[in-house]
Amino acid sequence: MGLSLAQEMAARGYRVLGTGRRAPADLPPDHPLDTYLQADLSRPDEVAAVADWALAQTGGRIDVAVLNAGLGYYRPLTAESATDIAQVLRVNLDAPLQLAHALRPALAGGALGLVGSVAHRSAAGMPVYAASKGALDGFGRALAEEWRGDVRVRVLHPGPVATGMSERAGRPRNLMDSLFLSPRAVAIALLDALLARRGPDRQVISFLRVGRGLLIRGLTAGGR
Amino acid sequence: MRVLLTGGSSGLGAALLNACVARGDRVTVIDTARCPDAVPPSVHWLRHDLGSADMAGWDAIETALAGQGPFDLTILNAGISATGRFECIPLAQHQQISRVNLHAPLRLCMLLQQRRAFARAGRLVFVASLSCYTGYPGAASYAASKDGLATFARSLRAALRRDGVGVQLLCPGPMDTPHASRHAPRDAKPGRRIAPDRVARLVLGASRRRFLLLPGPGARLAAILGRIAPQAMTRIMGRVLFDKLKGRLS
């Protein structure tokens, strides 16, 4: 999903800086990143390093920040561990909070997108992940109001996306998977939602919405 | 009745502790404050900062949960806040809020469930906030932690129902507590806030089958409006609350 977002942003003419857990040598050859920093966002010192790096690379001026990194485990609470709970909450909530805090001056006049999940209301199969995304939603809800007029803050909750995260998280494959959306289609819909001047602070990037976007794109491409 | 309560030294927690002691419960309290001198022998006081990663403290909690449980009533009440502009509040405070209000209750619930320390036909109460319905500009990290708790409570309901445990979410509006006074705008009228004793009575007397506990007609009305028009409600909060909070130094 992050790769699709980066590709779509590059296609729209942005110079894209990215971070991830992978070593630079392990990035896919077709990645569109101008600059890359390897970082583990479950470590506050590395989150701080990401913020410093982003500020230095951009000269303190960021048009769009998309905080997309996230992880979770599909399992009941009894199967959790203290370490894993801390890791999920740090990456999914504490890191975005720290980055928003550090990048605030650079974002003036720009947009901050927080990538949530449709699990943000509740998910019995992954309570810790759901809690982290519910918290991110509440954070973005407050921040959008605080920064209104200065920085456009939006929380975007994608529906199930076919990225392999679900399998890695341990969710068994079933019929539902045929409904999963392609990362590229979701990335397009997500960026459209973030970059639109008007729109609600918190939005679900649903099947309908992605479908409508694809349809409009198809029609305009066909008319050309 | 055996009770586990986090945050028992002030505000709603102190009111809950008093009410439990008055009806003869045995209460295990986890709190950062030192044990008050006047505490009766039916109270087991564990001093621990829920925001710390201190292994010895968490080990002591695990031991206590095994020794004092299973609990008929668990109230995860401990919470802290910081108000003002998000970027003007020091990062360390936001991080401590996240750890005390969200990391710690999740970890405690995991321990309690793994050690079968929830008694059958018992209750687990999460103390969230009316901010789950209204949004809370001026307390972004606090609002985040409380929304996280609400989602966690909803997500746990089915699994704990199978164990015979009722999960409940308490969303109080402003209470007449030291916490609320610290974080309210300067000109707020304390007389309009709900008394913590009243909220404590509601919690202790609530039926196990009710999920959402909204104390007082004001909170119920705000929750309804927040459900119908969430963004409008947050914008109103921005006007009536954040405009006053952002002027002051945190």
Kindly report the average pLDDT of chain B as a whole number. 93
Closest-CA residue of chain A to B116: A78
Is residue A155 within a helix (H) or strand (E), and if so which, with residue range? strand A152-158
pLDDT of residue A179: 60
Q: Is A98 on the interface with B (CB under 8 A)?
A: yes
Say whether pLDDT at B188 is over 80: no
Instruction: Flag the least confident range among A87-91, A203-207, B36-40.
Output: A203-207
Q: Are B102 and A93 in contact (CB under 8 A)?
A: yes
Residues of A in contact with B91 (CB under 8 A): 98, 101-102
Residue B5's region, left for phi above 0, alpha for psi from -120 to 50, else beta, is beta
pLDDT of residue A224: 44
CB contact under 8 A, A77 and B132: no
Residues of B in contact with A145 (CB under 8 A): 135, 137, 234-235, 237-238, 242
d(CA A96, CA A98): 5
Q: Determine the 3-state secondary structure of B100 from DSSP.
A: helix
Q: What is the pLDDT of residues B150-175, one digit of tens each?
A: 999 999 999 999 999 999 999 999 99
Residues of A in contact with B87 (CB under 8 A): 101, 104
Instruction: Sketch the domain layout of chain A as residue ranges.
Output: 2-223
Topology (CATH) of B2-245: Rossmann fold (3.40.50)
Give how far Cα A82 sits from Cα of A73, A85, B97, B126, B182, Å.
13, 5, 18, 19, 32
CA pseudo-torsion sign B174, B244, B9, B3: positive
Closest-CA residue of chain B to A104: B87
Say whether pLDDT at B192 is over 90: no
Q: Determine the 3-state secondary structure of A212 from DSSP.
A: helix
Strands (E), chain B: 2-6, 26-31, 43-47, 71-76, 118-127, 166-170, 212-213
Q: Are A156 and A116 in contact (CB under 8 A)?
A: yes
CA-closest candidate to residue B221, choices B154, B133, B142 = B133
Say whether pLDDT at B228 is over 60: yes
Burial class (CB in 10 A: 0-12, 13-18, 19+), B59: exposed
d(CA A189, CA B52): 40
CB proximity under 8 Å: A 160-199 to B: none
Q: How far is A134 from chain B (nearest CA, A)?
A: 5
Q: Find the mean pLDDT for residues A125-143.
A: 98
pLDDT of residue A145: 97
Nearest to A77 among B85, B113, B246 (CB): B113
CA-closest candidate to residue A9, choices A63, A69, A70, A46 = A63
Q: What is the pLDDT of residues B95-125, one digit of tens each?
A: 999 999 999 999 999 999 999 999 999 999 9
Q: Hey, how many other C-beta atoms are within 10 angstroms of the C-beta on A19? A: 22
d(CA A142, CA B236): 12
Dig out the tokens for B70 from the structure. 């299973």
First to last CA, chain B: 41
Query: What is the percentage of chain B residues whose pLDDT exceeds 90?
Result: 82
Q: A199: which residues sit within 8 A by CB, 6+ positions away?
A: A154, A193
Q: Is A200 on the interface with B (CB under 8 A)?
A: yes
pLDDT of residue A223: 45
Residues of A in contact with B128 (CB under 8 A): none
Nearest to A93 among B98, B138, B155 (CB): B98
Kindly report the average pLDDT of chain A as a whole number. 90
Domain A2-223 coded CATH 3.40.50.720: yes
* A and B: number of Cβ contacts within 8 A: 153
Q: Are B128 and B169 in contact (CB under 8 A)?
A: yes
Q: Is A202 on the interface with B (CB under 8 A)?
A: yes
Which is more confident, B218 or A175?
Answer: B218
pTM of the model: 0.94
Which is more confident, B120 or A172?
Answer: B120
CB proximity under 8 Å: B 166-225 to A: none
Which is more confident, A212 or A1?
Answer: A1
CA-closest candidate to residue A190, choices A108, A125, A138, A118 = A118
Q: What is the pLDDT of residues A9-28, one digit of tens each?
A: 999 999 999 999 999 999 99
CB contact under 8 A, A82 and B110: yes
> For residue B65, what pLDDT band results from cuts at 50, 70 and 90?
confident
Q: How far is B18 from chain A (nearest CA, A)?
A: 31
d(CA B205, CA B197): 12
Say whether pLDDT at A175 is over 60: no
> For residue A178, what pLDDT band results from cuts at 50, 70 and 90?
low
Query: Residue B70, preceding bond cis, omega within 30 degrees?
Result: yes
Q: Are A100 and B104 in contact (CB under 8 A)?
A: no
pLDDT of residue B38: 86
d(CA A36, CA A148): 30
Say whether pLDDT at B14 is over 70: yes
Residues of B in contact with A44 (CB under 8 A): 95
Nearest to A146 among B86, B94, B231 (CB): B86
Say whether pLDDT at A59 is over 80: yes
